Amino acid sequence: MSDLLVIENLVSGYRDAVVINGLSLSLEAGQALALLGRNGTGKTTLIDSIMGLTRHVSGRISFNGEDITRFAPERRAAAGIGWVPQERNIFRSLTVEENLTAVQRGSAWTVERVYAMFPRLGERKRNLGNQLSGGEQQMLAVARALMLDPKLLLLDEPLEGLAPIIVDELLAAIARLIREEKLTVILVEQKARKILPVTDRAVILDRGAIVHAATSAELLADEAAMAAHLSVAERPARPRRSTNPVPPDATGHNAP
């Protein structure tokens, strides 16, 4: 497969602050990339840079064979880059269905197809955006991005702060987009063990640079790398065994 996204020696940031330092990365069409790292390591800045929302210092970004380094964000979206930010950016005063039809472009994704992917949205299609739970709003944000028929979908911490049942539903939908729809995805997430099973490759950022790259399966099996770069415990803590197997009596002394 050919590379859909190519980032070469990118340096970018906000105002006078440089966050991404000479980063290079490529992603083939149909691949899913887990973008990992501790808080403040540059994950969101990299996503923002792909969308054209940061100050570009140097380097090059190519998408679908075209140099988009100087493209405005709306032109990048029109080229086929879908973006779901942490803030979700749904229309809270519009219904679920109005949110979807307001941004629809092309015919690959229809309202009916979105409802099949996210049944909860179909059940709440007449609800306003501000009447949805946080998890339902996140589903709607992903669905709105799909209505733009993206070739690349950028998801910035989509599971953050959601109830476990919603996490499972949303993650299952993302897995379907990757495995069945063959959508190219970059997935930023703190829960590494949740997203590595549904992605193909993984990179870990630190101080705006890639410090570890592997297949998702390799990283998932590499407990030392997970612990070193992500502060993920090498193995679940075991309950401590009591050093006093005989329970105390009501006086606090060991029972005979």
Our count of domains for the chain comes to 1
The percentage of residues in the chain with a pLDDT greater than 90, rounded to a whole number, is 84
pLDDT of residue 245: 43
The answer, yes or no, to whether residue 4 has pLDDT greater than 50, is: yes
* CATH number of domain containing 3: 3.40.50.300
pLDDT of residue 256: 37
pLDDT tens column, 70-115: 999 999 999 999 999 998 889 999 999 999 999 988 778 999 999 9
What's the pLDDT band for 1 if we cut at 50, 70, 90? low
Mean pLDDT (whole number) for 234-254: 43
Confirm whether 210 is domain-assigned. yes
Mean pLDDT (whole number) for 217-230: 95
CB count in 10 Å sphere of residue 88: 19
Report the 3 state secondary structure along the chain: CCEEEEEEEEEEEECCEEEEEEEEEEEECCCEEEEECCCCCCHHHHHHHHCCCCEEEEEEEEECCEECCCCCHHHHHHHCEEEECCCCCCCCCCEHHHHHHHHCCCCCCCHHHHHHHCHHHHHCCCCEHHHCCHHHHHHHHHHHHHCCCCCEEEEECCCCCCCHHHHHHHHHHHHHHHHCCCCEEEEECCCHHHHHHHCCEEEEEECCEEEEEEEHHHHHHCHHHHHHHHCCCCCCCCCCCCCCCCCECCCCCECC
Mean pLDDT (whole number) for 182-204: 96
pLDDT of residue 186: 98
The residue ranking higher by pLDDT, 194 or 236, is 194
Confirm whether 183 is domain-assigned. no
* β-bridge partners, 44: none
pLDDT of residue 105: 84
**Of the candidate ranges 106-110, 175-179, 221-225, the one whose mean pLDDT is the lowest:** 106-110
The answer, yes or no, to whether residue 253 has pLDDT greater than 60, is: no
Confirm whether 110 is domain-assigned. no
The percentage of residues in the chain with a pLDDT greater than 70, rounded to a whole number, is 90
What's the pLDDT band for 233 if we cut at 50, 70, 90? low
The answer, yes or no, to whether residue 244 has pLDDT greater than 90, is: no
The answer, yes or no, to whether residue 242 has pLDDT greater than 60, is: no
pLDDT tens column, 157-171: 999 989 999 999 999
Confirm whether 55 is domain-assigned. yes
Confirm whether 218 is domain-assigned. yes
Confirm whether 21 is domain-assigned. yes
pLDDT of residue 190: 87
Confirm whether 229 is domain-assigned. yes
pLDDT tens column, 12-40: 999 999 999 999 999 999 999 999 999 99
Mean pLDDT (whole number) for 240-252: 42
State which residues form the domain around 25. 1-77+195-233
pLDDT of residue 250: 40
pLDDT tens column, 119-139: 999 999 999 999 999 999 999
Confirm whether 201 is domain-assigned. yes
Mean pLDDT (whole number) for 174-188: 97
